[in-house]
């Protein structure tokens, strides 16, 4: 069994879907992203060798999602999705939450009344 990654990420192996998912706190720093990618590459390569099948790899902090394929124990970026936050949660002034379509429509209905 491998020790937990030094960065504090959580790595989840999904054998039936042939995927490895790594969840980090914040990927906005290039240094953190590089370390997380390295750790994810090792985890995906180790899991692929153990299971005898290839794995897709996903790296996320909840706001940014990176999808990778594996080539010779190295990650190859296939796609990136950036979540755009549009509303600050009033209960958490330092947190940003995506606006819910329901809350946006309720707000506009209240304003129109």
Tens digit of each residue's pLDDT, the chain (113 residues): 333 444 566 788 887 789 999 999 999 999 999 999 999 999 999 999 998 988 999 999 999 999 999 888 889 999 999 987 655 556 665 555 555 444 444 443 444 43
| Same domain flag for 54 and 105 | no
| Same domain flag for 101 and 71 | no
| Same domain flag for 104 and 50 | no
| Same domain flag for 69 and 112 | no
| Same domain flag for 113 and 63 | no
Instruction: Please say whether the beta carbons of 20 and 49 come within 8 A.
Output: no
* Residue 90 structural domain: 86-113
Q: Which residue has the tokens 């992203």?
A: 33
The CA distance from 94 to 54, in Å, is: 40
| Same domain flag for 68 and 110 | no
Task: Give the number of domains in the chain.
Answer: 2
């Amino acid at each position: 069994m491998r020790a937990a990654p030094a960065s504090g990420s959580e790595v989840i192996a999904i054998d039936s879907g042939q995927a490895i998912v790594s969840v980090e706190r914040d990927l906005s720093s290039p240094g953190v992203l590089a370390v997380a990618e390295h750790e994810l590459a090792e985890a995906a390569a180790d899991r692929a060798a153990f299971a005898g099948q290839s794995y897709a790899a996903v790296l996320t902090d909840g706001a940014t999602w990176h999808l990778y394929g594996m080539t010779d124990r190295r990650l190859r970026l296939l796609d990136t999705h950036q979540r755009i936050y549009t509303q600050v949660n009033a209960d958490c002034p330092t947190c940003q939450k995506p606006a819910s379509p329901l809350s946006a429509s309720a707000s506009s209905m209240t304003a129109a009344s």
